[in-house]
Amino acid sequence: GEDVEQSLFLSVREGDSSVINCTYTDSSSTYLYWYKQEPGAGLQLLTYIFSNMDMKQDQRLTVLLNKKDKHLSLRIADTQTGDSAIYFCAEFGYGGSQGNLIFGKGTKLSVKP
Amino acid sequence: DVKVTQSSRYLVKRTGEKVFLECVQDMDHENMFWYRQDPGLGLRLIYFSYDVKMKEKGDIPEGYSVSREKKERFSLILESASTNQTSMYLCASSAEQPNQPQHFGDGTRLSIL
C-alpha cells in the first residue's frame, strides 16, 4: 500500500534555512501537500504541488518535487521561531476512496534563537 | 476561508461512557473525515464520509461509529469509551473533486479516565 516517510526531527538556528524531506510510494499521486501543526492546534494547509511541476515557490516556502525518486522537500528560508511546529507531508492515495490523503508521521521543527 | 469547527477543545469522560464528538464545516464540502493523532503514530484515519448518510471505515474503526445526517455535520461516537481512546481527535473536510486538500479543525483533546 501507499506509504509516506519523513524524518521525525529537525533543529535549525533562527535565520538559517530549513529543509524538510519526504518520500512517498504511490507513483500515481497527482497532488502532494505540506501541512503545519502548531502545538495544541489542528493542521493548517501550507502549500501543495501538482505532480507535473518540479518546483513551487510561495514567499519563504519552496517546494521541490523529484518525481523519479518520489521525493518531496519543503524549504523554509530565513526560519523564524514562529516556524517551530510539526510539518506533515501528504499525498493523495488512489488506494483509498475519493478524497483520502496519506500522511507522513510528521517532522518536528525546532528553531533555536 | 474554510471553517471546520469542532465542538470541544478539551473533553474528559469516564470509562464506559458514550461520547459524542461533533464537527461542522461551512464550505458545503462533500467529504468529511475523523482522525486520531497519537505521539509516534501520526494521523490515523478512523472513518470518513463522502455524502450525507454515507460512511466508510478508515484504518482504525474499531470502537467507533459515525453519523452524517446533514452535509455540514459529521459526528464521531465512542460507544463505550476506554482508556486507550485517550487521544487528540481531528476532523477535516474536503470538496468532492479528487486531489482537493483537506481542511482541519483545531482538534479535540479527549481524556478517558
The reported pLDDT for the residue numbered A1 is: 59
Taking residues A21-38, report their average pLDDT.
87
Cβ distance of B48 and A33 shorter than 8 Å: no
Q: A-chain residues within 8 Å CB-CB of B27? A: none
Question: How far is the alpha carbon of A96 from chain B, nearest alpha carbon, in Å?
Answer: 9
Quote the pLDDT of residue B100.
81
Residues 6+ apart with CB under 8 A from B103: A45, B2, B4, B25, B27, B29, B92, B93, B94
Nearest to A99 among B31, B43, B105 (CB): B31
From the list B31, B99, B107, the residue facing A42 with the nearest CB is: B107
Please report the pLDDT score of residue A98 as a whole number.
52
The three three-digit cell numbers of residue A97, written as one number:
476512496
Whole-number Å distance between alpha carbons of B78 and B7: 15
Tell me A60's DSSP state.
T
Contact between B96 and B27 (Cβ < 8 Å): no
Question: Residue A76: phi, psi to the nearest 5?
Answer: -115, 115
A25 pLDDT band, cuts 50/70/90, is: confident
**What is the rounded (10 degree) CA torsion for B27, A91, B68, B79?**
-140
Helices and strands per DSSP (H, E), number in chain A: 0, 11
Give the pLDDT score at A94: 60
Answer left, alpha or beta for residue A59, where phi above 0 means left and psi between -120 and 50 means alpha.
left
Residue B64's φ and ψ, nearest 5 degrees, are: -125, 155
Tell me, what's the pLDDT at A92? 80
The CA dihedral of B58, B38, A90, B62, to the nearest 10 degrees, is: 0
User: What's the pLDDT band for A52 if we cut at 50, 70, 90?
Assistant: confident
User: Who wins on pLDDT, A84 or A94?
Assistant: A84
> Mean pLDDT across the stretch B51-79?
95
Interchain contact, B33 vs A99, CB within 8 Å: yes
Which of B90, B92, B80 shows the shortest CA–CA distance to B110?
A: B90
Where does the pLDDT of residue A26 fall: very low under 50, low under 70, confident under 90, or very high at 90 and above? confident
CB nearest to B98's CB, from A41, A92, A104:
A92
B75 versus B100: the higher-pLDDT residue is: B75
pLDDT mean across residues, chain A: 89
Give the model's pLDDT for residue A102. Answer: 86
pLDDT at A97 > cutoff 70: no
CA B69 to the chain's CA centroid: 14
- Residues of A whose CB is below 8 A from B30: 99
- On chain B, the residues whose CB falls within 8 A of the CB of A39 are none
pLDDT(A93) > 70: no
> Using one digit for the tens of pLDDT, what is the confidence trace for A31-45?
899 999 998 889 999
DSSP string, A73-106: EEEESS--GGG-EEEEEEEE-TTSSTT-EEE---
* Cross-chain residue pair A99–B90, CB shorter than 8 Å: no
Closest Cα in chain A to B89? A42
Nearest CA among B1, B2, B17, B3 for reference residue B110: B17
Confidence (pLDDT) at A3 = 84
Asked which of A38-42, A96-100, A101-105, B89-93 is least confident by mean pLDDT, the reply is A96-100
